[in-house]
Amino acid sequence: MIQDELLKALANVKTLNEIEQIRIQYLGRKGIITNLAKETDFSKLSPEEKKNFGQKLNQLKNFATDQIQETLNRLTAQNTATPQVHRLIDLTVSGSACSLGALHPISMVQMELEEIFEGMGFTVLDSPEAETEFNNFESINIPSDHPARDMQDTFWLKNDMVLRTHTSSNQVRALKRFGAPFRGIFPGRCFRYESIDPSHENTFYQCEGLMVDRDISVANLIGVMKTLLSEVFKRDVKVRLRPGFFPFVEPGFELDLNCLFCGGSGCPTCGDGWIELIPCGLTHPKVLEFGGINPNEFSGFAFGLGLTRLAMMKYGIRDIRYFNSGDVRFYEQFAPII
């Protein structure tokens, strides 16, 4: 009988491949059990005989399937329980090289700044890279006829939005959302269509800061900037504060950092010995009004810190173009040492 022959065959198998061959032999498309239906002339059978034949054929298929599965389970369990023979380890063979990933240097600087400012009570806020013209210009006192627009070569999108030219675009949005008093920073990527050289890129990172409260003065601004730079560089650095024009602050200043590469003597990175680092000033009353804040009751200061240039100074990177180069060799220098 087919059942006895199947049991006898399964009793002698030793490998998974042998079980598969038996399955094909009995249950495959041309298997012994499958052919029983193909070789039977059902036209000569009565309805009752057809019914009995079908029942017996199904019972036979189920029997074969169950027996094959049980044998497969038994053989698998035996192989699992059998102790594995380990190959000898050749300790003279060189090991496989293992490399660690690294954060981008700008990401590391941004994370450090966020921690510093959070320690001073500032909130870290995100903002969109594609901005409305109002948020990027009008809300920070740069109307369509303002000459400051000519200083920023802007990427315009087809939907009349722009790629933000500065993270200052989040000032009014934050004031409308949180009101005053307010302390916040807005780190992120900015875009300007300009010539690329060792200290200028068309894609760069900024960290805008805004503080609004009662009786805010230039002294508050200088105090925050000094705390920031001393924490970042872990040493005293030489800076200078000179007058600067920015439509969203009045008065406005340029805080420059003495070049850490040449010590102020002048080099290809800085030009004249100074790196323009932090445009800043007291918040313009119109910006406060756009944000729904009464300028007669509150005042504030704002600054735009160049994260990319700060990373250059902190890590001794002389050419800004390395940051967007995609060169893995450059990023590997910042992998952690273990």
Task: Tell me the H-state helices in the chain.
Answer: 2-11, 16-27, 32-39, 47-81, 105-119, 133-136, 171-178, 218-233, 285-290, 307-315, 328-332
Domain count for the chain: 2
- Among 162, 173, 171, 178, smallest CA distance to 284 is for 171
3-state secondary structure of 186: strand
Q: Give the pLDDT of the chain (338 residues) as one tens digit per residue.
A: 787 887 888 888 878 788 888 888 888 877 788 777 777 766 677 778 777 877 887 888 888 888 888 888 887 777 665 455 555 666 777 777 777 778 899 999 999 999 999 999 999 999 999 999 999 999 998 888 877 676 668 888 989 899 999 999 999 999 999 999 999 999 999 998 888 888 788 899 999 999 999 999 999 998 898 888 888 877 777 888 889 888 899 999 988 888 877 878 888 877 888 887 788 999 999 999 999 999 999 999 999 988 888 888 888 888 888 998 888 888 888 876 55
Q: Which residues contact 118 (CB under 8 A, 6 or more apart)?
A: 124
Q: Are 335 and 215 in contact (CB under 8 A)?
A: no
Same domain, 255 and 309: yes
Same domain, 71 and 210: no
3-state secondary structure of 188: strand
Q: Domain with 159 in it: what CATH number?
A: 3.30.930.10
Same domain, 180 and 291: yes
Read off φ and ψ for residue 276, nearest 5 degrees. -65, 115
Q: Are 286 and 141 in contact (CB under 8 A)?
A: yes
> Is residue 19 a part of any domain in this protein?
yes
The crossing angle, in degrees rounded to 10, of helices 105-119 and 307-315 is: 110
Say how many Å lie between the first and final Cα of the chain, rounded: 69
**Per-residue pLDDT at 76:** 78
DSSP tag of 67: H
Q: Are 167 and 186 in contact (CB under 8 A)?
A: yes
On the question of a cis peptide bond just before residue 47, with omega within 30 degrees of 0, the verdict is no
Q: Are 126 and 188 in contact (CB under 8 A)?
A: yes
> Is residue 88 a part of any domain in this protein?
no
Q: Please report, to the nearest 10 degrees, the dihedral formed by the alpha carbons of residues 144, 150, 152, 158 taken in order.
A: 50
Looking at 77, 96, 124, the residue that finishes a domain is: 77
Same domain, 49 and 122: no
Same domain, 42 and 120: no
Same domain, 68 and 125: no
> Is residue 85 a part of any domain in this protein?
no
Query: What's the one-letter identity of residue 218?
Result: V
Same domain, 143 and 72: no
Same domain, 239 and 129: yes
Which H or E run includes 190?
A: strand 182-191
Same domain, 21 and 169: no
Looking at 62, 77, 92, the residue that finishes a domain is: 77
Same domain, 72 and 122: no
> Is residue 82 a part of any domain in this protein?
no
Looking at 24, 57, 77, the residue that finishes a domain is: 77
List pLDDT tens digits, range 323-333: 988 888 888 88
Residue numbers of the domain that contains 54:
2-77
Q: What is the residue-averaged pLDDT of the chain?
A: 84
> Is residue 94 a part of any domain in this protein?
no
Query: What's the one-letter identity of residue 327?
Result: D
Query: What's the one-letter identity of residue 321?
Result: R
**Per-residue pLDDT at 257:** 80
| Whole-structure pTM value | 0.64
Q: Are 308 and 189 in contact (CB under 8 A)?
A: no
> Is residue 296 a part of any domain in this protein?
yes
Q: Which residues contact 25 (CB under 8 A, 6 or more apart)?
A: 9, 31, 32
Q: Are 217 and 206 in contact (CB under 8 A)?
A: no
Same domain, 144 and 221: yes
DSSP tag of 95: P
Same domain, 132 and 276: yes
> Is residue 55 a part of any domain in this protein?
yes
> Is residue 46 a part of any domain in this protein?
yes
